[in-house]
Amino acid sequence: MKLKNYICGQWVEGSGKGQILYNAVNGSEIATLSSEGINLDECLQYARQKGGPALRKMTFQERGRMIKALAIHLTEIKAKYYPLSYKTGATKTDSWIDIDGGIGTLFAYSSLRRKLPNQTFCTDGDLAPLSKGNTFIGHHILTPKKGVAIHINAFNFPVWGMLEKISVNLLAGVPAIVKPASISSYLAEAVFRDIISSGILPEGSLQLICGSARDLLNYVNFQDVVTFTGSASTGKVLRSHPRILEESVPLNMETDSLNCSVLGRDAKPGTADFDIFIKEVHREMTAKCGQKCTAIRRVIVPEEYLQDVQISLGQRLQKTVIGDPHLEEVRMGALAGITQLNEVKEKVAVLSKYSSIAYGDLDTVHALGDNTKGGAFMSPILMINEKPFENILTHEVEAFGPVSTIMPYKNLSDAIQISQLGKGSLVSSIITSDKYIASEFVSEAGSHHGRILILNEKCAKESTGHGSPMPLLVHGGPGRAGGGEEMGGLRGIKHYMQRTAIQGSPDMITAVTQQFQAGSEVKESDVHLFRKHFEELEVGDQWITAKHTVTETDITNFANLSGDHFYAHMDVTSLEGTIFTGRVAHGYYILSKAAGMFVDAKKGPVLLNYGLDECRFIKPVYPGATIGVRLTVKEKIDQEKRTEEDVAKGIVKWHVDVYDETGESVAIANILTMVKKKIDA
């Protein structure tokens, strides 16, 4: 079988014999692949001219629903990918992380549409007032780049690596070219085929290159984004590519790093936290046969616990069944191929010059299964480096397999310094129930790690673990780890969007952003805005309420109702030395009274109060002051129906401006209501 490339809307075979791909479990030939003969410049042009415009026309809501539909589609057929995944050497659990984890990321990013407007772009951050009279203001907006996301992925997670990246660029509105690592590309290609055949994505929004990327980077420009996951050495080559430098092309790198896990001194042998530590290190050594960019390579423990850790880990490793991933009892499969196996052995040989092997044998491994003779199996290797400040190879050389090194520390300061000797990692973890130890480690070690897991008995059962990046948190790290970041919730889409500062009058900024800005023109309505359906409301529509004069009785009644008897509201004799000149109305009374003034009580399109985003009490309100409310439509956020029976609706964000008899604002807030649509679409 020869894998094909999906290029310019067609499945195309590369020319020549191509590279042979092998089954990691038994060494049999699976497929060949090649990208020779393909015009990669045309691929980029096709994405820019076909896929980009189609995605940019879609709103965030539409893109989010598209990603959700894709996630549902892949969920329905995901079982077909497991047999292929086993050929990469992955166990059932490893495959679940890769396949279900990748689909889960699609779901996570599709749900983020609810935090975004029903527009093709979004604002970023807060309004910037630029003039005394508020006639000149500024804001930031994010618009999709008019280029292509080029994803050069690693071999260890062919499904998750692809899906977690495209979920972000698709939500941002940018097409992608996916270049999976060759050795496991047969699994990525199978999933990709189903993505394309589903017809869910616009044509041109995704393309696939199986084989070498060849001269692809020669044709990138400043609107493109290149992402890379893999070795630090390859990352350096990409970073220095002439075209990347000439065009200032963003390069988001996530490279293998020497991640560490620290055992807190309070987690003594025999405690639950000690057992959790042993279990976590064992899992990170054996999951995916240690072929994880987040795997624990350095095990940092108090010097007095070193022997206990060595014995406990050795006993747990001894019970690990290695072999054919098809077998239920197998807990560790094979490396991705013989080439990877040889590379790991070479690195262990280098490390063993200064660190002793406490468990495992490079030349002996028992692999369970009848058909494992030609497979890339190896024993887990646990090493000891008793002088981590002197024998620094442990902090420089990574064996990308089931290999970890234990090293001792004298005090927490030493542990922090040892963790930093890796010169930047994707993740570190500390197992402790001591709040001081946790706080000190995070504050002092945080500069060198992209993520820190604080693990103990209280969260262990629900923790996703040291090695699991999460869609809503950043994945990446400084220094050796590449200096990039992926995912991170809404932070992720910003890598594929251009942040632009816009300046102008409040009217113009309102028109551009489709968010009401204070000081812009309003359209006062003759009909109460709560009587209008979602489609009938427009940004800038305003309702002016009747007025109310605040009395001391109002203040006393609210105090009795709320239980808030703060002295400034109730005791005029206690105001000396304060900023108040008399009994002051509760801020929440002002806000509550404002709601009573602007709400239309009769049943209508407004279904419910959805929440309060912002609230500020600007000026004290004393008895005798007369307040009124300016209620303005600030923003509209469309919502899709979840079921056929669901009510068609949207969220309206209102700007509530409470002012006094002088015309000055005394309180401002943004409230949200759920508003029914006129047409049950």
* Residues sharing a CB contact under 8 Å with residue 42, sequence separation 6 or more, in sequence order: 7, 8
Checking if the pLDDT of 181 tops 60, the result is: yes
CA dihedral 112, 116, 119, 124 (to 10 degrees): -130
Q: What is the pTM of this model?
A: 0.88
Amino acid at 228: F
H helices of 240-337, where? 242-247, 272-286, 306-318
To the query of whether residue 254 is one of the catalytic residues in this protein, the response is yes
Q: Which is catalytic among the residues 122, 210, 289, 293? A: 293
Please give the Cα distance from 70 to 103 (Å, whole number).
9
Predicted confidence at residue 372, as pLDDT, reads 86
Fold of 39-254+491-498: Aldehyde Dehydrogenase; Chain A, domain 1 (3.40.605)
* Section 296-302 average pLDDT: 96
Please give the Cα distance from 509 to 498 (Å, whole number).
17
Give, in order, the Cα–Cα distances in Å from 521 to each of 8, 539, 543, 652: 47, 10, 13, 19
CB 477 within 8 A of CB 257: yes
* Section 152-178 average pLDDT: 94
Three-state DSSP at 301 gives strand
Listed residue (184, 170, 207, 185) closest to 71, CA to CA: 170
Q: Please, how many CA atoms are within 13 Å of residue 12, restricted to the half-sphere of its CB? A: 19
Q: Which is catalytic among the residues 164, 189, 254, 635? A: 254
Question: Percent of the chain at pLDDT above 70?
Answer: 100
* Section 72-93 average pLDDT: 94
Please give the Cα distance from 402 to 283 (Å, whole number).
10
Three-state DSSP at 223 gives coil
Domain at 522-676: CATH code: 3.10.129.10
Checking if the pLDDT of 645 tops 90, the result is: no
Band (pLDDT 50/70/90 cuts) for residue 370 is confident
Domain definitions of the chain by residue range: 39-254+491-498, 259-470, 522-676
Checking if the pLDDT of 469 tops 90, the result is: no
User: In the numeric block, which tokens belong to residue 556?
Assistant: 């006393």
User: In the numeric block, which tokens belong to residue 636?
Assistant: 């509209």
Band (pLDDT 50/70/90 cuts) for residue 231 is confident
Band (pLDDT 50/70/90 cuts) for residue 680 is low
CB 586 within 8 A of CB 558: yes
Check if 39-254+491-498 and 522-676 are the same fold. Answer: no
Predicted confidence at residue 646, as pLDDT, reads 85
Tokens 């030395």 — which residue?
577
82-96, 216-230, 307-321, 632-646, range with the lowest pLDDT: 632-646
Q: What share of the chain is helix, strand, coil (3-state, %, to 5)?
A: 35, 25, 40
Q: Which pLDDT tens digit goes with each residue over 84-125? A: 999 999 999 999 999 999 999 999 999 999 888 888 999 998
Listed residue (461, 460, 464, 462) closest to 451, CA to CA: 464
Checking if the pLDDT of 193 tops 90, the result is: yes
Q: Which pLDDT tens digit goes with each residue over 320-351? A: 999 999 998 999 999 999 999 999 999 999 99
Q: Which pLDDT tens digit goes with each residue over 55-70? A: 999 999 999 999 999 9
* Section 286-312 average pLDDT: 94
Of the CATH numbers 3.40.50.300, 3.40.720.10, 3.40.309.10, 3.40.50.170, which one belongs to the domain with range 259-470? 3.40.309.10
Predicted confidence at residue 541, as pLDDT, reads 93
Give, in order, the Cα–Cα distances in Å from 120 to each of 68, 141, 213, 249: 18, 11, 31, 23
Q: Which pLDDT tens digit goes with each residue over 475-496? A: 999 998 989 999 889 999 999 9
Checking if the pLDDT of 176 tops 60, the result is: yes
Q: Which residue has the higher pLDDT, 119 or 680?
A: 119
Please give the Cα distance from 403 to 401 (Å, whole number).
6
Predicted confidence at residue 681, as pLDDT, reads 54
Q: What is the mean pLDDT of the chain?
A: 92
